Structures are given as C-alpha cells and as structure tokens.
Amino acid sequence: MGIDIGFLWIGAVIVFVVIEAVTYQLVSVWFAVGSVGGLIAYMLGFGFGVQMTVFLILSVVTLLCLRPLSMKLLKPKGFKTNADSLVGKEVLITKAVSNVGASGEGKINGMTWTVRSEDGSDIDKGAVAVVKKIEGVKLIVERKGD
C-alpha cells in the first residue's frame, strides 16, 4: 500500500511555505498556491494527471500575475543616507577636477571624496564647489558662483 497522494500535496504545501519563510525573495509561494490547487483537485476526486495540471496552471498563473505586482510593491525604495546631507554644502577641491581625466578630489566635513563636475568642466585645486548630488561614492559638484 502506497502513500496517499493527498499527503504528498499537503507535504508539498508545507515544503514550499517553509522555503518561502526562510528565503528573502519570493521564490516558492507560487508553487505553494499550485500545491493547494492540486490538493483541492485530489479532494474533489480527480486523477493525478488532472491534479498535476491544476498544480502547474495555478503555479504559472500565480507567478505571471502576482510576481510583477509583488516586485513593484517590495522593491526597495531609494532611501536617504547621512551622505545625502552633503547636498547643497560647499566642498574644497583638493585635487583638480577633470571628468575627462577621471580625476578630482574634495574635502568636506573632514572627509576626502572623489569629485566630478556636473557640467563636465574642469575645476582647479583650491576652488570651492557646491555639492549637487551624490552618485555612489562620488560627489557631483558645480563650481561655486556658476
């Protein structure tokens, strides 16, 4: 006597839910929904082929319909950091800025940053610039008075 197919569907639901619970991303919730569908087909007396078809169709439909929505809702929004407080502040250029030469450094709040000019113009060492934005670890600046 073999194992009852209903227990396999219940086991599948449990396994997919546990996998979902221990992962950061949505990876198996689709299959958990499909497994519930397979279990319902089993309880309605359908054969294993129909149960698998219900499982596959529900899993694919759930994945196609809900994944884009869930990614949109769960996508991390841009968040402000302490570095964002530098926007609008003045920076002393300690190494001439040249976007073409990929060089330039500035000092602000006692920290040295890589600096690039917003409009692509060169900025001489010793000049003062204003931070317009931050891209990664670079300050994008505009020469003060421009």
Asked if 68 and 9 sit in the same domain, the reply is yes
Asked if 58 and 98 sit in the same domain, the reply is no
Asked if 64 and 92 sit in the same domain, the reply is no
Q: 3-state SS of the chain: helix, strand, coil percent to 5?
A: 45, 25, 30
pLDDT the model gives residue 15: 95
Measured in whole angstroms, how far is the alpha carbon of residue 16 from the centre of its chain? 23
Asked if 18 and 45 sit in the same domain, the reply is yes
Asked if 90 and 66 sit in the same domain, the reply is no
Is 135 within 8 Å of 110 (Cβ atoms)?
A: no
Total count of domains within the chain: 2
Asked if 12 and 70 sit in the same domain, the reply is yes
**Whether pLDDT at 2 is above 60:** no
Which residue range forms the structural domain that includes residue 96? 82-143
In terms of Cβ atoms closer than 10 Å to its own Cβ (0-12, 13-18, 19+), residue 53 is: middle
Asked if 61 and 97 sit in the same domain, the reply is no
pLDDT digits (tens, 9 = 90+) for 100-129: 888 899 999 888 999 999 898 899 999 999
**Whether pLDDT at 83 is above 80:** no
User: Band of the pLDDT at 77, cuts 50, 70, 90?
Assistant: low
